[in-house]
Chains A and B, each alone.
Chain A
Amino acid sequence: MNLGKLQAKQFSQLLNVHQMNSDKITKGVLLLSSFVILFVAGGMIFSLVEGAIPALKSFGLSFIWSNNWNPTEGKENYGALPFIAGTIITSVAALLISLPLSFSVSLFLGEYYRGTKIAKVLGTMVDLLAGIPSIVYGLWGFYVLRPLLIDLGLPNQGFGIFTASIILAIMIIPYATSLSNEIITMVPNELKEAAYSLGATRSEVIFSVVVPSARSGIIAGYILSFGRALGETMAVTMLIGNANIVPDGFFSTGNTMASVIANQFGEADGLKLSSLIAIGLLLFLLTGIINAIGKFIIKRMG
């Protein structure tokens, strides 16, 4: 009898110990996997910096503002300015082109036709834009958009900053739209009704109530889509003309940081490879900063 009780107690103690151990292990596994993410991110920065060191040692900080990209042996010199300029110009242009389009779509979805069937269809189609692979955008730009632009009188056989920006603009529309649409939908009805009751028309309500109260969400959406544009590779590579020069206008050819890596990686080693990795590091930092700003704005909205 006594013995039986004792055994039961021991047994339950054992069970508890066993369970505590298993819980500890489970918690350990969860913790470990989150370390994996931190380890991957840390490792990425470490490897990029390590790979970029030979280039940064040879050229110093002038790597960033030198516009001389010369792989000729003996006269090797690498400067990233053409690509930094190309990246920023194409992305800014893409953002400007996409602004009116994605703003219209988010008003269509979040205000004019909110919750209707037609909004659902339009929303699905805009989402599908995000699903098209970059290389397919590139093909379409090359075989459909470019001939059209040549007919309109674009120089350089239709290649260049302008063509790349148009395709980029289409590619980033879904990213800008999804966030600003969500925020516009969340604007309280009371606010809008108050404006209507004062006799405001719908467009007046949009510009004096909806846009001001959804402002930071809309801006954050555009910042995040700008971050997308900075790193796009294939479509840009196929359309920008791949000239290692600082673009001298909207219709000039050029190269972006992503497209020069894709283009020149194949035959690269030594100092050139290191320079491409250094460009990768700069691109990583640039997109990281832009995304962090976007996320910060979203977080501040709550």
Chain B
Amino acid sequence: MADNRQQQVDGGKVGAVMVVGAGIGGMQAALDLANAGFRVTLVEETTAIGGRMAQLDKTFPTNDCSMCTISPKLIEVGKHLNIDVVTGAEVTAVEGEPGSFRVKVLKHPRYVDLDKCNACGDCLEKCPVELPSEFDQDTMARKAIFKRYPQAIPGGMAISKLARPPCVMTCPAHVNCQGYVALIGQGRFAEAYALIRERNPFPAACGRICHHPCEGECNRRELDEAVAVNPLKRFAADWIAARRAQGEDPAPPPVGEIDPAKPRVAVIGGGPAGLTAARNLALKGYPVTLFEAHEKLGGTMLLGVPGYRLPDEALQRDVADVLASGFEVKTGTVLGRDFTLEGLKQQGFEAAFLAIGSTRPVPLARSTDGSPLKGADLDGVLLGLDFLRDVKLGRGPEFQGKVVVIGGGNVAIDVAMSARRQGAGQVEIVCLESRDEMPAHAWEIADAVEENVSINPSWGVREIVGSGGKVSRVALQRCTSVFDADGRFAPQFDGDFSETGADTVIIAVGQRSDFSFLADDDPLWDDQKRSVPADPLTLQTSAGWVFAGGDMVTGPASVVEAVAHGHEAAESIDRYLRGEDLTAGRRKPETAPAPKPERWFPLAGRAAPSRLAPAKREGYAEIEQTLSEEQAVAEGRRCLACGLCSECMECVKACSADAILHDMLPEETTYEAGAVLLAPGFEPFDPAARGEYSYGVSKNVVTSLQFERVLSASGPYQGHVRRPSDHAEPKRIAWIQCVGSRDRQCGNDYCSGVCCMYAIKEAIMAVDHVPGLEATIFYNDIRAFGKGFESYYESAKKQYGVRFRRGLISAVKERQQTGNLVLTYVTESGHSTEEEFDLVVLSVGLRPSASATRLAGELAVGLDEFGFCRTEALAPNRTSKDGFYVAGSFAAPMDIPETVMTASAAAAMAGEALHEARGTRVREKTYPPERDVTGEEPRVGVFVCRCGTNIARVVGVSDVVEYARSLPHVAHVEENLYTCSTDTQRKIIDTILEHRLNRVVVASCTPRTHEPLFQETLREAGLNKHLFEMANIRDQCSWVHFSHPHEATFKAKDLVRMAVARAATLLPLGDVRVAVDQRAIVLGAGLAGMTAALSLADQGFETALVEREPEPGGIARHIHRTLSGADVQSHLAGLIGRVNEHPLIRLYTAAVLEEFSGHVGKFRAAVRRDGRTLEIGGGAVVVATGGEPYQPSEYGYGQSEAVVTQLELEQKLQEPGFAAGLREVVMIQCVGSREEEHPYCSRVCCQEAVKNALAIKETNPDARVFVLFRDVRTYGFDELHYQRAREAGVMFIRFEPDEKPQVTLGGDVRVRVMDDVLGRPVELRPDLVVLSAAVRPHPAAPAVSQALKVPLTADGFFLEAHMKLRPLDFATEGIFLAGLAHAPKSMAESISQAKGAAARAATILSKPFMDRSGIVSEVDQEHCAGCLTCVRLCPYDVPQINEEGVAYIEPASCQGCGLCASVCPRKAIATRHYRDEQLISKIDVLFGEPWFETAGEGVAGAGGEG
């Protein structure tokens, strides 16, 4: 691939454009620019292009599937050589000058390598985190790793990730709480267990006794209660134990591969810290020996925790898993007694980890008066830890009578509860602290109280009193405070004394480590601190090779903190032994945990494990029980997924392509661009701001965009119409219009322009889906002003029975039991009525997106009062900033075709600014010369794709491969993990060369997305791209038949056999190269024609401008101002001046088109002028032949001077004093529009009326002005002028079409109209009646239509190629459309269209020649009978009967659709690449015919063996 970087041309302009926003507008602009020779960077905020249009179900007014329409564009953009798509990115700054900007783009990490990801979807199944799908407007869930929508481009996955969640950040061992909770929520308990075990080797033990700080930080507490993170851990551990008890092991413990050559490590202490370190080091391959003083492993977990909290059996399960890692254990070996550190060193241990815990109980030494405590040595006085240890080892004492426990910590509680189990009749806890200050956890105190342990707080022990050498009572003194002001232990006592009887006293006031193995002068020992100091980060001691951790460093702490130390010690020792820096990268910067997600969650109480009732607690039976499976799953689903992705790494495990990069970082890139085009789109209005509609409160109130997803086949209900609350099929749906539009209260005064139509479409689609459904639309005015809209509206009423009710709904009330919604409205008879609906759809308006506002702020692009991009009335795509252009709904609310038009217009403006630099930045691909395969035997290479496991999981891929080998002509077969991956592409090229393959078959996914890619590969290997065939064994086999793998494999073989058969018949096809006449022809020199001609000329193309009239200017000559006040005449004068002066424009006035011929790239027009015929040539044509004003015959027009049209009134208003002389004016709307014969809306008349009414009111406020209307259609920002007119006192009176106003002339003019609101007729006596007359097609349109062979609509306007996405194109390539010739429209819209048409034309004119697909139809002239069948049928009017009387199909014009070939009665027409024999070969082999014997003639080398 050659980067064609020429020197910058004159003025230093850069031949590249930055397009911001990749919705339909951004995509169209990018394509127009890239196809006209500019390099485009297309920056998109989300992870895929497509924008809002991709979210829609159908489009109005043609009911085309939105996705089907946009999908080819997505692919075209995605594969375009000169469009660089940058997703997940935002523009942060722009520097430089117009013509040469430097644009900074911040690309957020996607966490997936797009070059590697094949979008197979294996990861999707494994990801446990469900998040609301933005694309589906929260109507359904997606995974944390996701593809925005199935057809998304780029096709690769992305991961949503925020900061780490608070649970994980708080956990000392950083156990991935969110991850395992999510896995449990998905019922994937084994994976959950394995994930816990990575960071916490004691899931069963910790699941019971951890103090779970995670739950204390859980964001869910803000909502209701913390997620039961710890009970879930226990659940996972116990679930695994149950499986193992049945002989299964879904999560076998990891086993280390011990390398005896590695340095030996000693771990001293078999508690949580030591075991964790030993396991981690063993898993790294170190030979580890662990020394434990006791006979059993577990440390405090074993000896310090009573069995009713942690049964020994549970702990030993964990220990067994740890031991499986493969280290040596020496129990009963005491440091200092049986071995020394020095001795270890001599034995060859190169590192040691000391983790001896704090197992020595501290005796109570002092009385409350400070003297040594008396009675501590009496018989019956025990130490807490010793007692607990003895109980655990089965040698606990049996009690009788009363036990007094001294101490307020957790150990004291454990002692008290154990004492009860050892037979004590009465147990009392005495402690210094007040009840609130007791250090024991509240839940443990509650446990003890539940078992009738009495708590006696705020007492100090004065003396333990005995009788006969045995304890009898404890003397107490009231403790008034425990700690001093600095928080130091300094108990204060007052004169309050007491005592309590005791048969046994157990002292549980503290514990410490046993450092007796160290001499006082040992360098490890810090005598002052009375401890072994260790570096807090690395745990390294002063001895260097010795590391220390756990309780012996921290003092008595929790198990999970000891585990954390175990991890750190293992890490340090590994680094130490490898001679690495111990600290590098370990000091993590403080980052804030992820906050609670800002969205709505249903409240749900926390799962409570069942507990053994106190009466049933026999012996040391466990009190708390494990959660049930149902409880656990439900609890797992309570997690809010604060961090979004939980980093559980399941996707990494699932991905065979190694595409997932969890540590990807943001990237900033600077792009050069000559111009910047803003198309960031809109955001739907959030109806939560209009609380009266109960959105967010009632589930069955949805937004219109949500309803689009409901309707969509890929939506939450697979295209069935359902409502959210109960998934029932609604029978009554109401649409409420103008939610967030035409609404001053929420600050959106403007009309969003599109809602009426999309609501009508949604209603039609809903009725279509649910027969009998009652659809009701509550509206203010139905604004069906676009092309074909009015008849769509009519069909909704008549064909689909959609009810339309005028009126604003003031509130939506929910019936809580049914979820139905009650709307109150005023009926036509004037009564207030209530009606119940099953579902309410809010037709939400459009507003600029928050990111667009931010962007505009960054770039200093001016915004209007609503936050839309500010533009001028007659320069609709120019922003306030030079070199920046705007397209689509960021400029104003607009629908899809308008967006496409403005996008092309903005592209034209960028093209005008940068035309000198055209072609300087484009990339062109060069290929090796094509190998001539004529005459060669077919040698087919077959590549069968596994698509990760996407195909292979269902289809027996190896089977298919073996089968393919047996097929005729097959020279090579192989199986690929991903056939589309970059390395496989390279391999295919090598294979083609090595095996001299001359046909290639890929059996994988869909040709829709992948055929171009493989065809590229063929070209790179020197093969013609048409020697390729695909078999779709993914969509057609593994996806649709996933539950029938055997049959799916069978079908895959069929498909491969068919593909091979056709491949053998394929022929190389050359593209058709057409020379382009790089000049343009524009027909019509009105506002649109002149604008188009100027744009073309400014883009550097010679342009002929042909006008029928003697003067240029068209209808605009009669218009003086726009509604917003722009001066039309001076704009027009400026245009005419520039047209006359422009060196590249030739204007032919009074010139009539006589003849027209040619094809794209080479048209010829014969024009008659001054009695002579001129020939004009050009590669592209713009039809801008305009329209004309209707001359009314109704309402007495022409019979009286008192009846005029709006255009005439506008003319009169130019006369000074005219307005001042008016007393009363009545304007009548829809004259000649919205009627049976002319059903279309003329779109501009409402604005005309408002404009002229305001003009009258401004000079003559006393004049009464009435506007008699059917719907006021002041869409977009014109709504503000309608508002202004009402404020100025213009009276608007609505009439029904069957009760039109009556105008009586003669003497006084009278107008009688039935006022809809008053319900009675009103009689007006105006001195002027003004008719808002329709816009009609130009009378010359039929002639132009015939000459150019381009079609007209039933209304007589020109018909574009596609109503939505090709509004400026004709089906005939190379001919474009703009202005009133297309349909009635405003001047701004005409200007935009004209520029847009110029941009479309530039995509052809910018190249000296164009390559057109070789897949065209050709006529066998000998067989052709000249019957005209093909001529009549061709949708593009290509076939012609030539001089010899037979059909001729111009290859440059043919679209290759194949219709002619299929209808030709004599089979004289064949479409290349789809010849009969090429298709029949497939059918033959499908049904077992020996196709290779019957293969038709003309097939290169298709003979050969059977």
**Chains A and B bind each other:** no
